[in-house]
Structure 1
């Protein structure tokens, strides 16, 4: 067992508090990738483990949110690659009702989001469902802010066309 320095212990405490305060949002974000409750829970678990074992990679405790969302995104992508599956079942959609998570009121919006390529869907979810700033989204996805803005506008245009059809 590795002993943590005082700075790392403070970081660990802040990370744990952030995770406890935002566990539902982290789950929803993971769920947008895999559309499966069990896989989303596994992803969040893996992300929590990775974040706690890699505390030293967090440079500033003010940037915990984008740091941990990036870990969740990377774990989700790893999970998809590992399992080679991306399936939506009707049972998974009913779980949202039971657990009290945000749910899509408009089934057309849900279908339109599902049809978007992952790079667009992730930006839409982070911006409008998780209420993140463009700068934070850029940091999470490791992209330039202007690239994120362009993808956001393209995604909104695709959603508009998809929903109006």
Structure 2
């Protein structure tokens, strides 16, 4: 449950209040970061950068009710920025990269679903993460992404449809 007083204290510079707020949001934020970044190290980097940016700019938060939305938007923008920077780096061959990195083992029960979400286009991945991992309403997603509610509904519907097709295809291929 959202604690408006705690957010107001954080806005006034109370670092303990900010830390408590972040503690309540960290699992959801990490999941979103992992879906974007596809590896633990980059997800943690995005989470850390988001924390820093949020701490520096929390005094600019206009409406305390949207703290979670505001924080998620910072995380999404940070993830997109890091992905854009990484596009400029020449990638290694997949086999070489897999040899150098330890395999990431997720604690997420629905790993197949998470994997399928990770493979979606960014616009579908974003709305589905906010809707189903952060439990945002369509209106909250529209505000966070600064787009019409109709677009959010369309992207949720199309994202779910693509997930169904992808998961159905994976199930058929296993037998």
TM range (shorter): 0.7 to 0.9
Match of 1:134 in 2: 138
What displacement does 1:129 show? 2.3
With structure 2 as the length reference, what TM-score do the two structures score? 0.75
Tell me, which stretches of 5 or more residues in structure 1 are unaligned? 1-5
Match of 1:104 in 2: 110
With structure 1 as the length reference, what TM-score do the two structures score? 0.79
Please tell me whether residue 163 in structure 1 is matched to residue 163 in structure 2.
no
Q: Is the 8 A contact 1:58 1:64 kept in 2?
A: yes
Aligned residues: 153
Decide whether aligned partners of structure 1 residues 56 and 128 sit closer, same or farther in structure 2, where only a CA change above 3 A counts: same
Match of 1:26 in 2: 29
Tell me, which stretches of 5 or more residues in structure 2 are unaligned? 1-8, 170-175
Decide whether aligned partners of structure 1 residues 141 and 135 sit closer, same or farther in structure 2, where only a CA change above 3 A counts: same
Aligned counterparts, 1:26-65, within 5 A? 26-65=29-68
Match of 1:68 in 2: 71
Which of the two has higher C-alpha Rg?
Answer: 2
Q: Is the 8 A contact 2:61 2:67 kept in 1?
A: yes
> Which residue of 124, 128, 141 corresponds with 2:128?
124
Decide whether aligned partners of structure 1 residues 57 and 112 sit closer, same or farther in structure 2, where only a CA change above 3 A counts: same
Decide whether aligned partners of structure 1 residues 55 and 12 sit closer, same or farther in structure 2, where only a CA change above 3 A counts: farther
* DSSP 3-state at the match of 1:22: helix
Match of 2:158 in 1: 154
What displacement does 1:39 show? 0.9
What displacement does 1:164 show? 2.3
